[in-house]
A and B are shown apart, each in its own frame.
Chain A
Amino acid sequence: MGSQGIRIVTDVSSELTKETLDELKITLIPGYINEGDESVLFDGHNLDRVRFYSELKDKDPLPTTAAPAPGIVQEILDKLSEEAEHLVLITLPRNLSAYQESFRLGSEHLPEDRVTLIDSGTVGSSQDTQVLAAAETAQAGDSLEDVLAAITRARSNTVSAAALSTMENLRRSGRVNMAQAGLATLLQIKPILEVVDGEVVTHARVRTFRKARLELLRMLKDEGPFERLVVEHANNEGDANWLAEQAADLVTGTTHIGLISPILGTHLGQGALGYTGLKTGWRD
């Protein structure tokens, strides 16, 4: 296929900056954040993330999230498909959200050979490594097969985890079976979670956030070195900076520190700290 024509589309769990999105011609499809009677169509940038998290802990009920309506997806894809020969859609896993269904219903009017929908099996900055790999490959003028292969390689070479400072948001999100995840306890626990093939898995349960932080670092040391490291947080800059500093030796490329997308953060709670590492040599 003509290489110029492949464009990458993803969702607003992405933490990529506007500059990166523009440079690599990546399109974000907005999603809803509902709060009380209000429903905001979040486009990735129209919410002050710092403020969102600082207010989050006092909110009852918590903001909820919802996938975009298929009609919205369809409108955006229609415009894009005028400029591109093929669209590669990378979005949140089916088990955790309705994004897959919305993207599928919003794209099924396009001919099959013009759109590919991918279940990333993961979320947020971990999904971003697949998006970046796809966009870079597409921009280099490679074929659809190459783009899809790059996504697979990025996926199998990405590690990520997050430590929660509170379990309240996760519990109330209703998206995780707390008993199955080993989190149905009144004890104060700072769980360390991973998303593995679309499932939320508890990696460890520690009692204090200091121990959680140390465990994240230990996990990074086990998995490094990394070409790209993202340390992400929900208003926990102090711990994020600490983790990035401690892991500096493990990074052969770039390190980014950023705020988790509210789409995910409302389920993780204020204070969460996580990382995504794309392993050095992932292209081989």
Chain B
Amino acid sequence: MAGPDRRTCDGRQLRWLFTAGLAWLEQNQALVDSLNVFPVPDGDTGKNMVLTLRSANEHVKSGTTRQAGEVGARVAHGALMGARGNSGVILSQLLAGFAGSICGIQHFDAQQMNHAWRAAVDRAYRAVTEPVEGTILTVARETGVALAQSVQVEGEEDLVVLLETMVAAAQVSLLHTPELLPVLRKAGVVDSGGQGLVCILEGMLRMAQGQPVLATEASTSRDEQGWQHALEPEDEEGYGYDVQFLMHGESMDVKTIHDGIDALGWSTLVVGDERLIKVHVHVHDPGQPISYAIDHCGWLNDVVVENMQEQYLQYLEQRMDGDEDEEVTEAGDVGVIAVAAGAGLAHLFREELGAAQVIAGGQSMNPSARDFVDAMERLPQKAFVLLPNNSNILLAAQQAADLADGRDVRVVPSRSIPQGIEAMLHRPMNMQELESGVAAMEAALGEVVSASLTTATRDAGIDGLAVSAGQYIGLVDGCLCVASDALEDALVELVQKALHNDGELVTLYYGEQVDSQRAEALASSLEESLEDVEVELVRGDQPLYPFLVSVE
């Protein structure tokens, strides 16, 4: 950028930089969009920031002025007119603050750029009613801190070097956004608006350094590979170590020490005076800067070494596990303890429907009252609803309720898994009041017809039906009504028996003996055979029962 000495930037150069920032953001729009707090594919932060900048670009691309102040003003006006989304609006405020500061200036230098950036950050913070840290605001502010240090303390005048410093500071700040904003940490992402700002600055730096900013193979693949790739360290040796310490001495030379430290690593900040210097540097060998410092001062203290590569790997792991780490929703102060067998059903009750605890059990493995009491003792809640989900477990649950000293416990007498699921769905979202919640859950039990399909363990004649060992048998609300040698026939007949007049939704929970392809084939042929009835298939993994069925 800038004049031959790279110490000033005029309007034409500012326009180029701005265009490069936009182009690089466009290249990386998909990446910014993907950084959504919730694991959804339709984030729009990148798009909103691109649209905001495009509007700004419309206002400068035709101009011929070489006055930096005027280019800034046009960019700011265009952004203000085209801003959309929270990040777009904040971006427009950053641009407005910057432009206001360089108003009337032909070409700006390092000092003026530093002032303008500070004005930009001030304006953006003022624009937001309740500024939140860990967002684009933080990235802009911390970038400004690094810029100010470099300009004011180190006396740096080269604008390209300053831009490098800003990009490095912005990248570090971005990586720290999850520490400041719990919602990001939980989702395992960095802030999307902050990422957008980093992209804009990177684009500007690329332009200043003569690197391409338009689509290249490398940048396209970065888009496709998404966030993992974007976060990969550029250095083959990884992110290295973050080293910080204080140097104490007499007549130390800040500039010499800065250059000495900087030669050992990157993202260098060396500030202070002849008696006290603060050093911050990223290196692969943390011993080097410490040894260097010891040789150049009296003594060191506040030495902090952090392994950034490890932090990066932990972050990656956390992000990969993001979906599984999601906190279980807990309904107010009332904990639900449900009985279910099979990983699929346990997941459904606990992770999806918000049970505090799932006790493994069912028809062939009835948990005891003790099991319920143990579960309650392990949980922090003082009030509980027990869902036995099987008629053979009702009594144990009731007994547990009687045994639970000092706790408020109710049993919702669910006799089947489908009834238990229905009760969970009708539980009030914020269930702090036990009685009304239990009433709603109990009322829900009658909303479904429950059926189940298993195999006969012996020959028998029950409910007027002759059954031979090994045959598939089906029960509707506890009554045996189907016997067949073929699984598919048994399932179809069972569902037909369970369907009442206004039944419109059949849910099949398939057990551990049925693989998912078989289950899908059975579900779709069942749906074809039934008119105006929807069939839904859910993985249950329950033992012994190829299918549990609910009809409503």
**Interface residues, chain A, CB within 8 Å of chain B?**
32, 34, 39, 61-62, 64, 66-72, 74, 94, 98, 100-102, 104-105, 171-174, 177-182, 184-189, 201-208, 210-211
A66 CB contacts on chain B under 8 angstroms = 44, 48, 51, 84-85, 88
Given contacts A101-B129, A185-B352, contact A70 B425 (CB under 8 A): no
B447 CB contacts on chain A under 8 angstroms = 211
Stretch in B74-82, B201-209, B272-280, B399-407 with 4+ CB within 8 Å of A: B74-82
Q: Which of A39, A102, A182, A187 contacts B421 (CB 8 A)?
A: A187
Q: Which of A39, A72, A100 contacts B51 (CB 8 A)?
A: A39
Given A66-B48, A101-B129: 14 more A-B contacts, CB < 8 Å: A66-B51, A66-B88, A69-B92, A71-B82, A101-B128, A105-B127, A172-B40, A174-B37, A177-B38, A180-B329, A186-B348, A187-B538, A206-B425, A208-B505
Going nearest first, the 4 A-B pairs with the smallest beta carbon separation are A66-B84, A71-B81, A185-B352, A71-B80
B89 touches A102 (CB 8 A): yes
Given contacts A71-B83, A101-B89, A174-B37, contact A187 B352 (CB under 8 A): yes
**Interface residues, chain B, CB within 8 Å of chain A?**
36-38, 40-44, 47-48, 51-52, 55, 77, 80-86, 88-89, 92-93, 127-129, 326-327, 329, 348, 351-354, 421-422, 425-426, 429, 447, 502, 504-505, 507, 534, 536, 538, 552
B41 touches A61 (CB 8 A): yes
B81 touches A187 (CB 8 A): no
A62 touches B42 (CB 8 A): yes
B44 touches A64 (CB 8 A): yes
B41 touches A201 (CB 8 A): no
A208 touches B552 (CB 8 A): yes
The closest CB in chain B to the CB of A68 belongs to: B84
B84 CB contacts on chain A under 8 angstroms = 32, 34, 39, 66-69, 98
Q: How far is the CA of A70 from the CA of B88 in the complex (A)?
A: 10
Q: How far is the CA of A74 from the CA of B80 in the complex (A)?
A: 10
Shortest B258–chain A CB gap in Å is 41
A188 touches B505 (CB 8 A): yes
Shortest A64–chain B CB gap in Å is 4
Shortest B535–chain A CB gap in Å is 10
The closest CB in chain A to the CB of B90 belongs to: A101
A68 CB contacts on chain B under 8 angstroms = 84
Q: Which of B93, B329, B504, B505 contacts A182 (CB 8 A)?
A: B329
Shortest A164–chain B CB gap in Å is 14
Q: How far is the CA of A221 from the CA of B40 in the complex (A)?
A: 37
**Residue among A102, A185, A205 with the highest chain B CB neighbour number at 10 A:** A185
Q: How far is the CA of A41 from the CA of B128 in the complex (A)?
A: 24
Q: How far is the CA of A61 from the CA of B47 in the complex (A)?
A: 12
Q: How far is the CA of A98 from the CA of B83 in the complex (A)?
A: 11
B536 CB contacts on chain A under 8 angstroms = 187-188
The closest CB in chain B to the CB of A106 belongs to: B80
Q: How far is the CA of A186 from the CA of B52 in the complex (A)?
A: 36
B89 touches A174 (CB 8 A): no
A177 CB contacts on chain B under 8 angstroms = 38
Shortest B43–chain A CB gap in Å is 6
Given contacts A174-B37, A207-B552, contact A182 B429 (CB under 8 A): yes
A67 CB contacts on chain B under 8 angstroms = 84-85, 89
Shortest B414–chain A CB gap in Å is 15
The closest CB in chain B to the CB of A37 belongs to: B47
B127 touches A174 (CB 8 A): no
Q: How far is the CA of A121 from the CA of B84 in the complex (A)?
A: 21
Q: Which of A104, A172, A184 contacts B42 (CB 8 A)?
A: A172
Shortest A106–chain B CB gap in Å is 9
Q: What would be 19 A-B contacts, judged by CB atoms less than 8 Å apart?
A: A34-B48, A66-B88, A67-B84, A101-B127, A101-B129, A102-B89, A105-B89, A174-B38, A174-B40, A174-B43, A179-B329, A182-B329, A182-B429, A185-B348, A187-B348, A188-B507, A203-B429, A208-B504, A211-B552
B534 CB contacts on chain A under 8 angstroms = 188
Q: Which of A71, A185, A188 contacts B353 (CB 8 A)?
A: A185
Q: Which of A94, A184, A207 contacts B351 (CB 8 A)?
A: A184
A61 CB contacts on chain B under 8 angstroms = 41-42
Given contacts A172-B42, A189-B425, A208-B504, contact A64 B352 (CB under 8 A): no
Q: How far is the CA of A61 from the CA of B44 in the complex (A)?
A: 10
Shortest A239–chain B CB gap in Å is 14
Shortest A62–chain B CB gap in Å is 5
Q: Which of B80, B352, B354 contacts A69 (CB 8 A)?
A: B80
Q: How far is the CA of A179 from the CA of B86 in the complex (A)?
A: 23
A101 CB contacts on chain B under 8 angstroms = 86, 89, 127-129
The closest CB in chain A to the CB of B347 belongs to: A186
Q: Which of B37, B44, B127, B425 contacts A205 (CB 8 A)?
A: B425
The closest CB in chain B to the CB of A266 belongs to: B42
A98 touches B89 (CB 8 A): yes
A69 CB contacts on chain B under 8 angstroms = 52, 55, 80-84, 88-89, 92
The closest CB in chain B to the CB of A177 belongs to: B38
Q: Which of A179, A203, A207 contacts B326 (CB 8 A)?
A: A179
